[in-house]
Amino acid sequence: MDHTPKTTAISRIAYTSTIAKGIFIRDTSALLVMHDSKSCVAAADFNNDGSIDLFVGGRVIPGKYPVTPKSYLLQNDGKGKFKDVTAQMAPALQSAGMVTTAAWCDIDHDGKKDLIVAGEWMPISIYLNKGDHFEDRTKDFFDRDYSGWWNTITVADI
């Protein structure tokens, strides 16, 4: 049986809002086509231009478990269209693992949102936002590799 991922309409659907009118309009051109199954979307303005950008976590390639699917860093052009900047800004995220959850947080307090990612059979990973790229700095924040089967991340200041 062929389990090769096929393009589905749901991977390209986004909704934009017209705030003044308080309505949502379906925009099928806002996102690129993303194959494989996704697990999560985490939103933040990672380039500080005033427009919300996205991280989309890849969960599994249908029929190819546990091969690592692609995850995406998508930059908003300010008009609600998202460009895949993963290869330029965070190439390691293209094969981060079987991601189940992600969160944005300014971990190093430099005014730029950093990305925390976790998933199935993978460590909790921290990607610091360096402005024009992200660096995997997990080892700077943990005393060991916290690999496991993570389902969700909640960020808190304790």
| CB contact at 8 A, 82 and 31 | yes
Residues with Cβ within 8 Å of 151's Cβ and at least 6 positions away in sequence, in order, are: 100, 101
φ, ψ dihedrals at 15, nearest 5°:
-120, 135
Of 44-52, 59-67, 83-91, 149-157: span binding Ca ion (CB under 5 A): 44-52
Q: Does 108 bind Ca ion (CB under 5 A)?
A: yes
Return the structure tokens found at 85: 């900047």
Among 84, 106, 120, 136, binds Ca ion (CB under 5 A): 106
Supply the minimum distance, in Å, between the C-beta of residue 67 and Ca ion. Answer: 31
Among 53, 82, 101, 134, binds Ca ion (CB under 5 A): 53
- Residues 110-149 close enough to bind Ca ion by CB under 5 A: 110, 112, 114
- Strand residue runs (E) in 28-66: 37-44, 53-60
Among 11, 16, 37, 51, binds Ca ion (CB under 5 A): 51
